[in-house]
Structure 1
């Protein structure tokens, strides 16, 4: 069966929250993400593919200075779960939610930080460059994505998972000043490290 992103994630979104298991990988991902983002200043956030609001809640709890927050997902079920997930979180009233895929999203406002966690890895290779260009166009300062990444692409992968050359794609855009790749690694012992095969890609726009 061919992979059709909207159909696949609309269906999977119905049970995603129920089947989700928070583990050490997600804890490490969140720790490194927050540690890195604290180096920068942003007042507004656009979250792409917010799912059930895991990252939404994380950012609200760690960046109380955020004044505007817009989050969207193509799954209506996920958006409803996200609303429930941030219920009771301080400053949650600033969050606006919408049901949309990336391609269909039409907004005129730009945001300081555009962030997508484990979203772009599910975008078809034929569409990834156009989608990243669109996300960069929504930003005034920074674009951040957290996704599966390995230097050597494995021979086998799930039909809905792709490794994209994010650094090259960002660097090809004239509005991007610099791109950082931050591997998500866990120290194990004195010299060894555990690679969870994810990286944070952080792009800064030029003046």
Structure 2
């Protein structure tokens, strides 16, 4: 018998709390069943496995977060670099206000259990497809802002935009390497230095590194 949507969401929310408190590896199916108020057999019947339930929990987290982080249009900002900076700050602020969400995302994407690596890889692809239209619209808005920048003569707009994206990807990878625990999300000193360095790199892209005399 299929689960009613409301009942399913209650089960997922209960299991979310267990995964956050204990982590994937230390969470048993019995613990999940007890928290959800159903039998282990029903956990397997409705979700298939602990892995699939964990991925379902992650997807529900994304479904809650994505609309909130995309309420504002990037074109509300007058400057491309301001919009880029504010988008990053808004994401960090959201994660700091939702420490449980931050904790489960940290485990899933920055400290992925070995037995979940394949599933997380597939989940990333699924989320890219699911939110592809939203992300494409966001990218289009950013491009509109970027096209307002007065580039030097001979500079190709698409190549310049690609260079900015290369810098952004470098800092995304740097973040992945340096976020060694979820508590660092609340370290003001770390984020101050992180954004200071990122903006320094973007300023070099924007204004150049050579002094013209």
Asked whether the two chains share a fold, i.e. TM above 0.5, the reply is: no
| TM tier relative to shorter chain | under 0.3
TM-score for both structures, normalised by structure 1: 0.25
Structure with the largest fraction of strand:
1
Structure with the largest fraction of helix:
2
